[in-house]
Amino acid sequence: MSVTVKIEKDKKEKLERFIASLLLREGIKITLQEALGLIIDYALQNEEQIVQKLKGLPPLEEDPAWKALDNPVHWGIKDASKKIDEYLYGR
């Protein structure tokens, strides 16, 4: 059974280049799905290294999108969905 996973376009392109290099340099042909599976298995086997890498990332609280949630824009109406419907559907 497989599921859909969304990844950033540039990361997918890097993964595809990696897969292509495996074929060219080593003669190893794998699918994108197989590559992701191997990467996940590797990450789970090397959990401590992954955790250390994650600890080096900036805290979520410093992310501009996260900060924006603390200071929402007030439109002067109680229910913004009505205003959104107006813009989207002209009602």
Following DSSP, what letter does each residue of 24-75 receive, concatenated? III-----HHHHHHHHHHHHHHTHHHHHHHHHTSPPGGGSHHHHHHHSPPP-
Supply the pLDDT for residue 80.
65
Residues of the chain where predicted confidence (pLDDT) is lower than 50: none
Any domain includes 4: no
Supply the pLDDT for residue 36.
95
Domain that holds residue 62: 9-89
Predicted structure pTM score: 0.56
Q: What is the pLDDT of residues 69-89, one digit of tens each?
A: 777 777 676 666 767 777 778
Any domain includes 1: no
Supply the pLDDT for residue 44.
96
Mutual angle of helices 9-21 and 32-45, in 10-degree steps: 100
Any domain includes 63: yes
Supply the pLDDT for residue 68.
79
Q: Report how many domains make up the chain.
A: 1
